[in-house]
Structure 1
Amino acid sequence: MGSVAEALREAPAALQRWRRDPVVVQTLRSTAAATISYVVALWLSSEPAPLTAPLTALLVVQVTLYATLTTSLRRVNAVVVGVVIAIAFSVLVGLTWWSLALVILASLVVGRFVRVEEFVPEVAISAMLVLGVTQVASTAWDRVLETLIGAVVGLLFNVVLVPPVWVDTAGESIGDLARRMRLLLLDVGEQLTAPAPVERVAARLHEARRLDNDIADVDAALRQAEDSLRFNPRVKEGFLHRIVLRTGLDTLEICAVVVRVLTRTLTDLAKRRQGEVLFPQETGLALEETVQHLADTLVSFAVLVTSTSTGGSAAAEARLGAELEAAATARHRAAGLLWEQAQADPGLWHLYGAMLAEIDRVLDELDPDHRGRRLMEELDRHAREQRARRHRIRSFARPGGGS
């Protein structure tokens, strides 16, 4: 009985998670759109089972309105091109094994030229289905009609029922990435004051390399968020949100690369130490403190770039500034101790210098001033592209401009 009551209490939270899950949303929206398009096609098409309409709607309806618009155009283009090719071949040669081969070849080649991208196979599929029937002309136009029905239903489905904005999901992914990098740096810091076998230090290097997979997952979530902001009537500053999140991920990606290089440097140092402590106690503690502050700056930075309120952004920026200042102070003290170590053991000065340079690179990337310049550069670049695009449109619209 207790388990049932507990499940009932957790049901609202589980429902909320499902509503925020892109897979669940995509499944429900695609099912509804495909079903509606089939019902509409039964009314308008002469085919007894117009399955092309739900198939088109299933492929057209994406998680975001922007993806739906672009996919609809490419898919309709692919089907129409395939139907035209099938009609031409049916009039000339009919259906034989060699004409089928020519239809497939022509469809795949033409599909590349008309730039339907992932729907190139759909050109050949449409041509084969139309070529294989007896009454080619009527079936061809029925197929075009069903395709248009599926595309229109899928488009209207996302216009009337505006799809969610996936900024929060992308923000959570960015935050998770920063926390994973923080945990990695904390593990690295613990190795600086204890005996460090090469295998243990190298394990952190392998973990840093695996961050590339995490970054790819975050990039996919961010692309989905960027698409959800385009053409979305519920979003007023979509472009600014996209720029903030994208530049934030770019910064974390650079930091991940630097962290990987840092673990490579420590692995090289561990090989020279042959399992002994990497640094004397005082130097190791200073470096550990530096790395700990560096780890905290990553999370503060992620909170800053994903914050959606002015107050939250201001608080996150203040925390980031404090962490950066503390990290710089600890780094300065560690640099002095490393200089003394390098004088005692000149053969390791290049590794010490590399460590300090890698720490400096992360601090520079996370600096709010550096981020401000990066944002301004992206905004200026976008403004230049918009001006150039408007200029091309005006030039083409002028008499003789398109010739």
Structure 2
Amino acid sequence: MRANVWESWRERVDDRLGDPIWWNDVLQLTKTVLAAVAAWVIAASVLDLPQPFLAPWAALLVVHATVYRTFSKGMQQVAATVVAVLLATVVGETLGLTTGAITLLLVVALVLGAVPWLGAEATTIAATGLVVLTTGFEDDVMLVARLLDTAIGVAVGLLVNVLVWPPLRRHTAAKALDRVDDGIGELLANMAGDLGDSCQDEEVTGWIDRTRDLDGDLDQAWALVRQAEESARMNPRRSARAMKNPREWHGLLRRMEQAVAETRSLARTLGGKEAHREAWGESFAEQWISMLGDTGRATSAADPDALLDVRRRLEVLTEELRSTERSPEWPIYGALIINLRNIIDAMDRVAAANPIGRSRVPIRVPVRRAAGSA
């Protein structure tokens, strides 16, 4: 029992340690902490500024998930911080630290935050201004020191995020694409298994609902591919070049969209009153259901050769049906064959492209040797 628990724990840890996406998130967290701490050390220990809290605050604001966003979104947040410092200084010197001053500062900050150029940074302006107002605004030296704090944080955050392994969201997008094609393959295999038994209306409804879930996964995959494309902009890494215009990935996503649509159409056809295994005849049912299951398994395994083999078998079945006497079930046969053929044609390129530039990190938990082993 203890050995099974250890093995299960080790497999989970191995999966996490070998996941490049997890390591990318760990690296981003480390860089954010590094930028904030470095900004604090420079402001507090090197330059000995009186209140250096704005340096790590500004560094945190500019370390974003992509280099491009570090410059675009980060600059908006930095501008909001500078506006907040100036606003708090003006309000403090005019009204002092009073309830009216705080009220005026929050109102003006929230109004300024709605200006499009500031990127709707109302919360940043309000929070920073409130901290600056309540911690002191006595003289111009303090104002200059706080602006210097902000400049230090900005510079350190930009340098750390750009120079220390700038983020490239290629692996995250690749995993999202893999999740979609695995989901398509699993659904097709499950449909074949359900058709092998007595298929009920509940199963058909479940299939259609799962295609809608896949639509949601596709929307997320599109968003992550766009983020990966953004992460390549202004990124000095050599591997970023291929992601600046990921046409191949766009094509793969469109193919998966078609496969999901064909699968939904297939499920609706199978849910019709005439589309039941008992009405098809075993000569068609056994072959077609077998090919449906093989298509799902080949899709999940990203095996383009297996998909092409199913495509050839489907063509043979079609020729056999043409040479036999026409059956009342011909419309159903044709619909099922066309749906399955279109799914195979859409997914073979996806299978050939897998894995899409993704590799596992070669880190594992050591295997514990049995007692008494050499």
TM-score computed with the length of structure 2 as normaliser: 0.73
Distance 1:116 1:200 in 2: 51
Partner of 1:201: 204
Matches within 5 A, 1:315-326: 319=305, 322=308, 325-326=311-312
Distance 1:148 1:338 in 2: 82
Distance 2:37 2:342 in 1: 54
Contact 1:112–1:120 (CA<8 Å) still a contact in 2? yes
In structure 2, relative to structure 1, the CA distance for the partners of 1:205 and 1:164 (3 Å cut) is same
Distance 1:216 1:226 in 2: 15
Contact 1:197–1:276 (CA<8 Å) still a contact in 2? no
Give 2:125's aligned amino acid. V
Distance 2:275 2:133 in 1: 72
Give 1:234's match in structure 2, choosing from 221, 237, 253: 237
Contact 1:130–1:136 (CA<8 Å) still a contact in 2? no
Matches within 5 A, 1:4-403: 17=18, 20-21=21-22, 22-42=24-44, 43-44=46-47, 46-48=49-51, 50-90=52-92, 92-117=94-119, 119-132=121-134, 133-135=136-138, 137-219=140-222, 221-235=224-238, 237-239=241-243, 242-266=246-270, 268-269=271-272, 272=273, 277=278, 279-292=280-293, 294-295=295-296, 298=299, 319=305, 322=308, 325-326=311-312, 329=315, 332=318, 340-342=327-329, 355=336, 358-359=339-340, 361-362=342-343, 365-366=346-347
Give 2:170's aligned amino acid. V
Partner of 1:374: none
Distance 2:317 2:82 in 1: 64
Structure 1 residue 221 displacement after superposition: 4.3
SS in 1 for 2:18: helix
The range that moved more, 16-25 or 67-76, is 16-25
Distance 2:50 2:20 in 1: 36
Identical-residue share of aligned pairs (%): 25
SS in 1 for 2:246: helix
SS in 2 for 1:258: helix
Q: Deviations over 1:191-249 (max 9, x none)?
A: 33431122233332333332244335544543443343222222263346633223322
Instruction: List gaps (5 residues or longer) in structure 1.
Output: 304-315, 344-348, 369-403
Distance 2:257 2:298 in 1: 14
Give 2:285's aligned amino acid. G
Q: Deviations over 1:140-189 (max 9, x none)?
A: 43333222211211111123212354424432332232122111111112
Higher helix share: 1
Structure 1 residue 36 displacement after superposition: 0.9
In structure 2, relative to structure 1, the CA distance for the partners of 1:55 and 1:341 (3 Å cut) is farther
Contact 2:37–2:56 (CA<8 Å) still a contact in 1? yes
Structure 1 residue 358 displacement after superposition: 4.2
In structure 2, relative to structure 1, the CA distance for the partners of 1:167 and 1:36 (3 Å cut) is same
Q: Deviations over 1:20-50 (max 9, x none)?
A: 51332222222222111110111336224x2
TM-score computed with the length of structure 1 as normaliser: 0.68
Distance 2:112 2:70 in 1: 23
Distance 1:18 1:32 in 2: 23
Equivalences, count: 342
